[in-house]
Structure 1
């Protein structure tokens, strides 16, 4: 049984607690504007992020990596997230949610619409 299966809410949502607290410690060390941006991304991900705890833990850690490097380089926040912060986060989620419920449902929707289109073309 994995740590995520044994643990409570945090473990089920974001993975092993140790990884979560290490991630949170890293975020706390960021300069204020970077920390605020990461915390906003985190809130969004808690609602719309990866389905599996392993994917979520890796995603949060990668966000921390990205913002730590950006802070060290003095990269402006907008340069990191682009013009559409939601699309930035959605792109991250797409990279980490392969095989999850959301991907299966997206594929099912696309397949169903493609089937309908083929049927209409064959009439």
Structure 2
């Protein structure tokens, strides 16, 4: 990975974070908790695999439709997240 790749990756991550900050407060809280969980035990290819960008797209669509975050994820957010990473090799599996 070259310097240009690192710089481009950093730009993409900053753009991603800016999109997260633009979410309504309830969506942002749930997104942050999901992200924290996924960074601990989530898929090995979390960033490159598109889980977080896909989740953000999903949340933005729900917010734009005027839906509450728990209407989008369901009441059991943990089950929702487990469904997102089902079948993916995780850091928890590596231990």
TM over 0.5: yes
* Aligned-pair CA distance for 1:18: 2.5
Alpha-carbon shift at residue 17 of structure 1 (Å): 2.4
Partner Cα distance (2:52, 2:13) in 1: 8
Instruction: State yes or no: 1:36 paired with 2:9.
Output: no
Aligned to 2:38: 45
Secondary structure in structure 1 of the residue aligned to 2:48: helix
Aligned match for 1:24, one of 17, 28, 42: 17
Q: Which runs of 5+ in 1 are unaligned?
A: 8-15, 106-123
Q: Which has the higher contact order (CA 8 A, sep 6+)?
A: 2
CA apart distance, 1:83: 2.5
Normalised to the residue count of structure 2, the TM-score between the two structures is 0.77
Q: CA deviation at 1:101?
A: 5.7
User: What is the deviation of 1:2?
Assistant: 6.7
Deviation at 1:64, TM superposition (A): 0.8
Tell me how far apart the structure 2 counterparts of residues 2 and 34 of structure 1 sit (CA, whole Å): 35
Query: Structure 1-normalised TM-score?
Result: 0.61
Q: Write out the 4+ residue segments of structure 1 that deviate beyond 3 Å after TM superposition.
A: none
Relative to structure 1, the CA distance from residue 51 to residue 69 in structure 2 (aligned partners, 3 Å threshold; closer, same or farther) is same
Tell me the equivalent position of 1:54.
48
Q: How large is the RMSD of aligned CA atoms in angstroms?
A: 2.3
Give unmatched runs, 5+ long, in structure 2.
Answer: none
Cα displacement (A) at 1:81: 1.4
Q: Aligned residues, how many?
A: 88
